[in-house]
Amino acid sequence: MWLADKGRGELVEEVWQASYDVIEEKKVLRKIDTCGMKLSRWSKECFGNIKHELEKKKKLLSQAERRAVQGGGTDLLLQLRKEIKSLMDKEERMWRQRSRALYLKEGDRNTRFFHYRATQRKHRNSISGIKNRDEDWCT
């Protein structure tokens, strides 16, 4: 889902090009940490409101359908349907990527389960430290 969205490449490049006032061994850790925080914030801004946006568009679609029945135009109706489909596809990709489980293929949308799996995966994928050239552990 992130790969389909523009902006993340520039964000990573910006963080990686920045200079930090820390010793050489800690620069990579600082860059990874900063990059992770900025990508997390960017993700919440770009993808965190999908459910809210979807609900808002569905309400607008309902209003547009009422207007169309009363003789109003259908241009807005078609546009809203297209936007809703796009948001639903985005939400589907988000759940498929976050779950990494076969349950989604079978149509199970147990949000509590997926939240647990995604959170568990986030903890497992975090980098808590790195060894330097002298084999010292830096955190």
pTM higher than 0.75: no
Query: Which pLDDT tens digits describe the chain residue by residue (139 residues)?
Result: 455 555 666 777 787 777 767 677 777 788 888 888 888 887 777 767 788 888 999 999 999 888 888 887 788 889 999 999 988 888 888 777 766 655 555 555 566 777 777 788 777 777 778 888 888 888 7
Those residues with Cβ within 8 angstroms of residue 45's Cβ, 6 or more apart along the chain or in another chain? none
- What are the tokens at 18? 């920045």
25 by Cβ neighbours in 10 Å (0-12 / 13-18 / 19+) ranks as middle
* Domain chopping of the chain, boundaries: 1-48, 49-139
Reading the block at residue 139, the tokens are: 């955190």
